[in-house]
Chains A and B, each alone.
Chain A
């Protein structure tokens, strides 16, 4: 049986920066427990030394020529932001007061 408790869901959600209500944590824990039990079967699939595949068609050192190309203006870069000030993204306090 899975260890996916509502407490663990709350912890994972806080790592993922998603606020969850107690109801949601309960519901997600039950759903994720079933999913995790099912996906955990990957452990049984692999015997012996099998290399990992991260990309289906591997490529290495993909670079373009190092020449300056047009990029977004400051105004464009800020155009989708909820708040900005003097050409910068404006956000709430980064640190708690204490």
Chain B
């Protein structure tokens, strides 16, 4: 195993820029690692080795010729399989899109190509990003490199297990209710959901359009910042794309500090309901922040009590509309029943065969929530709760510069533990959902191992809309103090991966 794969992305960038290693060496090292461990981890649904090496050798040639190259040129990356790519199938983890090769690249993919980053492949996810464990992927679950009997989080468990399993230095994720941050927390990696609209969603297969946001998956806060700087920016192809720039996240990470900052602890997201070891590491980090000059204040967000309920009305409602496009006509699967069926029967048979259980559950729930007679009571009330949550957060940010909480109530659970209990599965998202409902940025950083199981826990940082830089400033500072205390990076505590036959 090449030691290159253990390095942070920023180190690889420096090594390539100085000519100590080539992009082909870095890319090949990751492809070798994929060949060795993907059978165990199932992080990748599709590997694009030839295309990645082609980009890498092009970068090496151009660098040797003295060309000026983009900052992350030659650095390989993995892309979640709900972003369209013209040179690889895009399935969103669903049978209904098996083998579909899109006719256009997502804007984020175009930006990675323009940055000359070799794309290693497409990563696994719960079907259409509906889930917290990857157990709802039609192509089997991804596994957590810390313990392969446990979930890598979801929906972006392919990206989190790739980065935690050293098969990619960076990955792209999408976060609708925590699908970047929760996988980050349970795999000891960094996951960031930028402000709603900071990153274009053109070419992202939509789950819930008022909640979805694309963001970076990495092992390190600076690495996440470098990637957000590449993928962020206005895109005329996405009408929700923010017109203004949010500045350089890499600069914010470099200026790491909490001196004089007020850090708010959300009363509703601490204490009861959180695993003792997760809570203990969270309390350790609060002490570390206070010791380094932050003022810790408590903030009250009473409407968070209703966040999950509102989310599981808004999301299914939007998803049931968004997924109507999978109708057997323009792309994807078509199942034709016996006899001489009408198109409606073809659609119904196709969607029955092509969608998995969680997708069906949510589409039917969304159809119910939007039915006449229920619309006001359910969807209408949920949208009002959204306003209340925004108001709670506005009041909290008047008292604090950033808010913190544990990212998730528990460490990684075992496969099968929650699969038959949808409500228990939904509770994983209790701390991450408010950010999506309010459109604010959030980041999960590694926060030490829980005593009772030795598994990673995460700390979530939230900032006001458009203030993504604060996440990086605080996240990088806390990460540096953690590494000082621990004597190494959190990922270096992960046991050597046992590779199955």
List the interface of chain A (C-beta within 8 A of B): 4, 8-9, 12-20, 24, 28, 31-32, 34-36, 38-46, 50-57, 59, 62, 64, 72, 76-77, 79-83, 89, 91-96
Which residues of the partner chain B approach A95 to less than 8 Å between Cβ atoms? Answer: 342
Docked pose: A91 CA to B330 CA in angstroms: 10
Q: Is the CB of B348 within 8 A of A41?
A: no
Which residues of the partner chain B approach A51 to less than 8 Å between Cβ atoms? Answer: 384, 387
Q: Is the CB of B334 within 8 A of A17?
A: no
Docked pose: A61 CA to B486 CA in angstroms: 51
Least CB separation from B340: chain A residue: A93
Query: Given A28-B360, A92-B336, are A17 and B439 also a contact pair (CB < 8 Å)?
Result: no
User: Which 9 residue pairs spanning A and B have beta carbons closest together?
Assistant: A56-B439, A80-B331, A82-B334, A52-B383, A19-B352, A45-B306, A53-B386, A19-B348, A62-B239
Query: Given A18-B355, A59-B240, A93-B340, are A13 and B381 also a contact pair (CB < 8 Å)?
Result: no
Determine chain A's interface SS by DSSP, over half rule: loop
B266 at the interface (CB under 8 A from A): no
Which residues of the partner chain A approach B195 to less than 8 Å between Cβ atoms? Answer: 57
Least CB separation from B97: chain A residue: A80
Docked pose: A68 CA to B349 CA in angstroms: 39
> What range describes how many residues of B lie at the interface?
35 or more
Q: Is the CB of A19 within 8 A of B349?
A: yes
Docked pose: A59 CA to B236 CA in angstroms: 13
Q: Is the CB of A46 within 8 A of B381?
A: yes
Least CB separation from B370: chain A residue: A15
Q: Is the CB of B388 within 8 A of A39?
A: no
Q: What total count of A-B pairs have CB within 8 Å? A: 187
Docked pose: A94 CA to B329 CA in angstroms: 12
A68 nearest CB across to chain B (Å): 14
Contacting A91 at CB < 8 Å: which of B104, B346, B360, B386? B346
B173 nearest CB across to chain A (Å): 19
B327 at the interface (CB under 8 A from A): yes
Docked pose: A61 CA to B377 CA in angstroms: 29
B437 at the interface (CB under 8 A from A): yes
A-B contact pairs, 25 of them (CB 8 A): A12-B367, A14-B348, A15-B367, A18-B364, A19-B345, A19-B348, A19-B351, A32-B365, A35-B361, A39-B313, A40-B309, A41-B306, A42-B306, A42-B309, A46-B388, A53-B383, A53-B390, A57-B242, A64-B236, A72-B104, A80-B100, A80-B332, A81-B331, A94-B342, A95-B342
Docked pose: A17 CA to B343 CA in angstroms: 10
B259 at the interface (CB under 8 A from A): no
B382 at the interface (CB under 8 A from A): yes
Which residues of the partner chain A approach B385 to less than 8 Å between Cβ atoms? Answer: 42, 45-46
Determine chain B's interface SS by DSSP, over half rule: helix
B206 nearest CB across to chain A (Å): 13
- Which residues of chain B in 97-124 are interfacial with respect to chain A, using CB atoms and an 8 Å cutoff? 100-104
Docked pose: A96 CA to B465 CA in angstroms: 52
A11 nearest CB across to chain B (Å): 9
Q: Is the CB of B330 within 8 A of A56?
A: no
A36 nearest CB across to chain B (Å): 7
Q: Is the CB of A72 within 8 A of B386?
A: no
Least CB separation from A45: chain B residue: B306
Beta-carbon contacts of B195-239 to A below 8 Å, as 1s and 0s?
111000000000000110000000000000000000000001001
Which residues of the partner chain B approach A83 to less than 8 Å between Cβ atoms? Answer: 334
Q: Is the CB of B309 within 8 A of A41?
A: yes
Q: Is the CB of A32 within 8 A of B368?
A: yes
Least CB separation from B239: chain A residue: A62
Q: Is the CB of A36 within 8 A of B210?
A: no
Least CB separation from B313: chain A residue: A39
Query: Given A41-B306, A42-B313, A64-B236, are A17 and B348 also a contact pair (CB < 8 Å)?
Result: yes
Query: Given A39-B313, A72-B103, are A56 and B437 also a contact pair (CB < 8 Å)?
Result: yes
Docked pose: A35 CA to B313 CA in angstroms: 10
Docked pose: A60 CA to B104 CA in angstroms: 27
B448 nearest CB across to chain A (Å): 31
Contacting B333 at CB < 8 Å: which of A12, A50, A82? A82
Q: Is the CB of A16 within 8 A of B384?
A: no
B367 nearest CB across to chain A (Å): 5
Which residues of the partner chain B approach A52 to less than 8 Å between Cβ atoms? Answer: 380, 383-384, 386-387
A83 nearest CB across to chain B (Å): 7
Contacting A42 at CB < 8 Å: which of B310, B332, B333? B310
Which residues of the partner chain A approach B381 to less than 8 Å between Cβ atoms? Answer: 42-43, 45-46
Which residues of the partner chain A approach B320 to less than 8 Å between Cβ atoms? Answer: 16
Docked pose: A51 CA to B344 CA in angstroms: 38
Docked pose: A45 CA to B392 CA in angstroms: 13
B424 nearest CB across to chain A (Å): 10
Q: A62-B240, A81-B330 are known contacts; what are 19 more A-B pairs with Cβ within 8 Å?
A: A4-B368, A16-B364, A17-B351, A24-B360, A32-B361, A32-B364, A38-B308, A42-B309, A42-B384, A45-B305, A50-B384, A52-B383, A53-B386, A55-B210, A56-B440, A57-B195, A80-B101, A91-B329, A92-B343
